[in-house]
Amino acid sequence: MSAGIRRAGTPTLRSALTRLTRYYGPLPRPFPTGAFHQILWENVAYLAPDARRAAAFRTLKQEVGLTPAAILHASPAALRRVTSHGILPDKFAAKLRAAARIALDDFDGDVEPVLDLPQAQAKRTLRRFPGIGEPGAEKILLFSGRHPLLAPDSNALRVMQRLGISPVRKSYASAYAAAREVSAGQLGADTARMLRAHLLLRRHGQELCTRSAPACPRCPMVPVCPRIGVTR
């Protein structure tokens, strides 16, 4: 089934967002939004929950600084105190230093102009940094407000698939591509709407529509969820 074709009886992405907005209300604005700061955010704490990642970012800001020059000249111990909020701290301390080196050597310390490049070129350029694959590059462009890209994480993808909005695929890459096609077809080139969709779907996947033991009795999507009563 094409990613743009919806099964009968399943909600549209727009209608799902309406229900989720009523349930969750206004969401905090995304943070950070700058290009280099988002690259740092992706590398400060590997496989850490949001709260620990935010704590790592604060530690980096307070003890090292957020500029490429400050990170490049920081001691290994200082960077390790940051990345110890996640796993593989030595590896990710090296990634922070590598990101700083790329920013300085290739962009004179200022990555922001990359955000204004044509979308395909901007994504390719951002992927030169450690820890930034296609989803990460698209998230940077979305959070910067430059491009209407859904950039769904695993939580958002799970919600879209369970609701039948986006088809299940064997690989993450093909599932991600299908969700991108659906979102573009249903939400159009509206960056603000796409950002709201990203935040709402991710939060719903984190809080209620979890990978194991989803909280279906409290879920606002129950009336339109095609998988109620099916083992998840």
Listed residues 112, 143, 174: the one ending a domain: 143
Q: What pTM does this model have?
A: 0.90
The rounded distance, in Å, linking the Cα atoms of 103 and 36 is 8
* DSSP string covering 153-202: -HHHHHHHHHTTSS---SSHHHHHHHHHHHHHHHH-S-HHHHHHHHHHHH
pLDDT at position 63 over 70: yes
Listed residues 143, 159, 175: the one ending a domain: 143
Listed residues 91, 123, 143: the one ending a domain: 143
pLDDT at position 42 over 90: yes
The total number of structural domains in the chain stands at 2
pLDDT digits (tens, 9 = 90+) for 17-29: 999 999 999 999 8
Percentage of residues of the chain with pLDDT beyond 90 = 91
pLDDT at position 7 over 50: no
Could you tell me if 109 and 67 are in contact, meaning their C-beta atoms sit under 8 angstroms apart? yes
pLDDT digits (tens, 9 = 90+) for 96-155: 999 999 999 999 999 999 999 999 999 999 999 999 999 999 999 999 999 999 999 999
pLDDT digits (tens, 9 = 90+) for 188-216: 999 999 999 999 999 999 999 999 999 99
- Whether residues 42 and 18 share a domain: the answer is no
